[in-house]
Amino acid sequence: MAANTIELNRSRYNFDGVESIWLFGYGSLIYKVDFPFLEQRPARIDGWVRRFWQGSHDHRGTAEAPGRVVTLVEQPGACCRGMAYRISPTVFEHLDEREKNGYLRFSTTLTFYDASQTEGLVYIATEDNEAFLGHAPEADIARQIASAQGPSGLNAEYLVQLAEALRDLGDNDQHVFSLERLLTT
């Protein structure tokens, strides 16, 4: 699959007659909210873990030296905490552009902190996209993050801001926090 997924995403869902939809954010969508929303609530999705396995050559790196950003990887019994936003479908014009580097929108069940649930969408970069980097030793991932920089800034800033946002949510994401420790040692 091509890294640029704008047109794929725009053909995946028909929003005719839909006034609002929930979107789950688990990476920069937690702390860089550059889009209008109608409501915001902490939430989780089950069966997924957050991993720095997606390459970024358009935001936190370049084609010659890609950075690493998070995607979701299936893991039975796991849960990924993040932030849910109720948005107008028109917001996807902006979000599809922002998340174009290999991310596709998928349907998911969101569980809010009060245990209520709803259906929503989430962007996931699957292993079949051109920018997917996959698993690597955490020390190697941290070195790549430490050296990468792109149009949106230092890749290290992305990691640190995500770690801070997860602490604010009360999430203990060992993968993210381990990378943060490696980055600062």
Q: Would you say residue 108 lies in a domain?
A: yes
Q: Would you say residue 129 lies in a domain?
A: yes
Task: Report the domain count for the chain.
Answer: 1
Q: Which amino acid is at 55?
A: G
pLDDT confidence of residue 14: 86
Q: Would you say residue 172 lies in a domain?
A: yes
pLDDT confidence of residue 4: 86
8 Å CB contact between 160 and 180: yes
**Segment 6-29, tens digit of pLDDT:** 898 888 888 999 999 999 999 999
Question: Can you give the pLDDT of all 185 residues of the chain as single tens digits?
Answer: 566 888 988 888 889 999 999 999 999 999 999 999 999 999 999 999 999 999 999 899 998 999 999 999 999 999 999 999 999 999 999 999 999 999 999 999 999 999 999 999 999 999 999 999 999 999 999 999 999 999 999 999 999 999 999 999 999 999 999 999 999 87
Cβ neighbours around 112 below 10 Å, total? 14
State the pairing for strand pair 103-112/39-56.
antiparallel
Q: Would you say residue 99 lies in a domain?
A: yes
Bridge-partner residues for 83, per DSSP?
25, 42
Catalytic residue positions?
99
Residue 45, domain CATH = 3.10.490.10
Cβ neighbours around 94 below 10 Å, total? 13
pLDDT confidence of residue 1: 54
Structural domain boundaries, residue 88: 6-184
Q: Would you say residue 1 lies in a domain?
A: no
